[in-house]
Amino acid sequence: MQTILVVNAGSSSVKFQVFGIGTTAHLKQLVRGQVDGIGVRPRLRAKNADDVQVVDQSYTPSDVPDVPSAIRAAGTWLRETQQFELVAVGHRVVHGGPDYDRPVIVNDKVLADLERYIPLAPLHQPNNLAPIRTLMERFPALPQVACFDTAFHRGHSEIADHYALPKHFYAQGVRRYGFHGLSYEYIAEQLHEVAPDVAMSRVIVAHLGSGASMCGLSRGRSVESTMGFTALDGLPMGTRSGQLDPGIVLYLLSEQGMSVEAVQKLLYNECGLKGLSGVSNDVRELLDSGEPGAVLALEHFVYRIGLHAGMLAAALGGLDAFVFTAGIGEKGVAIRARIAETLSWLGCEFDSVANASGATVISRKTSRVKLYVIPTNEELMIAKHVLAMLPAGGEIRSVRTA
């Protein structure tokens, strides 16, 4: 069976999925896995289509010290055990900048362009591009498609897109982009199946994970996002600050004598839930902790989500549904309950029994604004984009990766 490989590379892990292409261009997930603990305790795990674990292999830190080596480890296992006919690879790339508003087949020029946006997403962009570069060097004939987290938001109005800066900065690409777009695009599609009565109405989607943001959808399209120029903006996250007075950055530079590199490390790696709690960046650990900092961090997280929900509802001109997704959104029963309480003024009537039972709909039948929990699948969304870029009705060429 001909297949598409999807790669989602982070700083300490590489997630991957393999999708088979059926006779009617239907995508079927064949394998999903990840290499995590890169450089510390590298471990490759994967499951097949029946959710059966097919590999659990550990490596020494010297064997898998970085993302390219993790890609090679996963690729070696796939080639030696799975016998796939690989026709293309899709990649999640966080920042597409002002030039890329849709998926694109990567060549040397595209790769060079995307490298220019590394300062705008220093935690993600280098790792997103590393596997592309590795595969280009080893298999130059293999088509690779970059799919951007910013693309889904590129239809924002000019008013929403601008900062109050001199116009030449906008022309240079200093504008509000928004992120987690592949997740929001997937949820917008899923709403037609899960909740067709609200799919084309006013919906807020909360993508809550280690990275967190919210998006306002109207008729299935992004109208506004809590994130802007970089993935630092908006909600407080695991280790990222979220919305911040820019004067604080000036103060850190001028009065605290911090270097640009030190400020960048602070805002991306030492703030958010981790910095506020002094305990952890993991919501589960904070919920189990009795430390005052942990309590404060969670209350702040919930409070800011409520504030941003009001902002997005204003941008939408009202609200008909609210969707929880991503790691915390999908699994955080206690956090969902706290957030739902802050949404009552918008017309949300929360159903605690449905929430605790893992139901898709967690609002009461009488609720004017419906509450949903919908799992996201960025990798499937990427595979769909890749499939759409392959020759329609023509022969798809397989590339040997042995």
Catalytic residues: 149
* End-to-end CA, the chain: 16
Residues 123 and 134: their CA atoms lie apart, in Å, by 19
Q: Provide CB contacts within 8 A for 372, sequence distance 6+.
A: 194, 195, 321, 322, 323, 324, 360, 361, 362, 363
DSSP string of 241-301?
Answer: --S--HHHHHHHHHTS---HHHHHHHHHHS-HHHHHHSS-S-HHHHHH---HHHHHHHHHH
In one-letter notation, the amino acid at residue 368 is: R
Residue whose structure tokens are 């800011």: 304
Question: For residue 210, what are its two tokens?
Answer: 């280690």
Contact (CB, 8 A) for 179 and 120: no
| Cβ-Cβ contacts under 8 Å for 160 (sequence gap 6 or more) | 176, 223, 224, 315
Structure tokens at 221: 């399209």
Contact (Cβ atoms closer than 8 angstroms) between residue 161 and residue 175: yes
Angstrom distance (rounded) from CA 392 to CA 158: 35
Sheet hosting strand 104-105, strand order edge to edge: 53-58, 43-48, 27-36, 13-21, 2-9, 85-93, 144-148, 104-105
